[in-house]
Amino acid sequence: MFSLQDKVAIVTGAASGLGKEIALLFARQGAKVVAADYNKEALDQFKSQISTDLTISPVAGDISNLEDVKNIYAHAQSEFGGVDIVVNNAGVMDKLEPIGDLSDEVYDKVINTNLKGTFYMMREAVKIFEKKRAGTIVNIASIAGLEGGRAGAAYTASKHGIIGLTKNTAYFYTKANIRVNVIAPGAMKTNIMSGNIDLSNISDLVKSMLSTQGNQKVADPSEVANVALFLASDEASFVNGAVVVADGGWTTY
């Protein structure tokens, strides 16, 4: 069940958190994995930890840079002869700021990484998948892509955008046999918040947003990686354009 034997997968943001878990899980299920990340140091550290029975090839690249994106696909071609699965996981957080406090710098960084980077990766994938009439994309959004008060304005907009890109692409390419789905995770134990937000200095508005967390659970990223495995596998053959919420019940509140 959920074998990825002989498949080639590209996973972005693979040097940390959820991306690393997905890369390892896919490789354990038989895939040859291209692990892409712009943090070269973290990528080198990951490389040194990969056991010899797994086929994972790291490549440095910034998904918000089109040349780097093309290089990630060229790497998959030269190392493994092509690509069958693309997981668009790389992402950055904003500082939980509402629009009135949002700087151009934070807006550009978050939108260029989360939304434009995912767009670049998807456009290249579709070109390849259309030719062979096969292939699947798993995007990583967030429950901030479904609701209005789970992050700042930039992150929320970027994740809503990823859900829109997913559904639109799933619609237009279903006859080309390309499946595109998106996971909306709740909170996970990863590095995404590290050093980004000074919780001692946040506004009352943000405090009230954080207080809606109620009985929120925090996942180990491996719990969300399992969802990515299902969506990437042939067992999900009739799942297309779906937003799969994996939040431990957080959005039931």
Ligand X SMILES: NC(=O)c1ccc[n+]([C@@H]2O[C@H](COP(=O)([O-])OP(=O)(O)OC[C@H]3O[C@@H](n4cnc5c(N)ncnc54)[C@H](O)[C@@H]3O)[C@@H](O)[C@H]2O)c1
Active-site choice (155, 171, 173, 253):
155
3-state secondary structure of 209: helix
CB 170 within 8 A of CB 233: no
CB 185 within 8 A of CB 21: no
Cα 223 from Cα 213, distance rounded (Å): 19
What tokens were used for 104? Answer: 């151009």
What tokens were used for 86? Answer: 């693309």
Question: Of the two residues 58 and 91, which places its CB atom closer to ligand X in the complex?
Answer: 91
Q: What residues line the site for ligand X (CB under 6 A)?
A: 12-13, 15-19, 37-39, 42, 62-64, 89-92, 113, 117, 140, 142, 185, 187-188, 190-192, 221
In sign, the C-alpha dihedral spanning 25, 26, 32, 36 is negative
Q: How far is the CB of 134 from ligand X (least distance, A)?
A: 25
CB 9 within 8 A of CB 31: yes
Radius of gyration of the chain (CA): 17
Question: Of the two residues 29 and 89, which places its CB atom closer to ligand X in the complex?
Answer: 89
Cα 92 from Cα 63, distance rounded (Å): 12
Q: Catalytic annotation on 155? A: yes
Report the residue closest to ligand X, judged by CB. Answer: 17
Question: Of the two residues 102 and 192, which places its CB atom closer to ligand X in the complex?
Answer: 192
Cα 127 from Cα 213, distance rounded (Å): 41
Q: How far is the CB of 91 from ligand X (least distance, A)?
A: 2
Question: Of the two residues 38 and 80, which places its CB atom closer to ligand X in the complex?
Answer: 38
Residue 251 CB burial class (10 angstroms; 0-12, 13-18, ≥19) = middle
Q: How far is the CB of 99 from ligand X (least distance, A)?
A: 19
Q: How far is the CB of 5 from ligand X (least distance, A)?
A: 26
Q: How far is the CB of 31 from ligand X (least distance, A)?
A: 19
CB 22 within 8 A of CB 228: yes
Question: Of the two residues 126 and 188, which places its CB atom closer to ligand X in the complex?
Answer: 188
Enzyme catalytic residues: 155
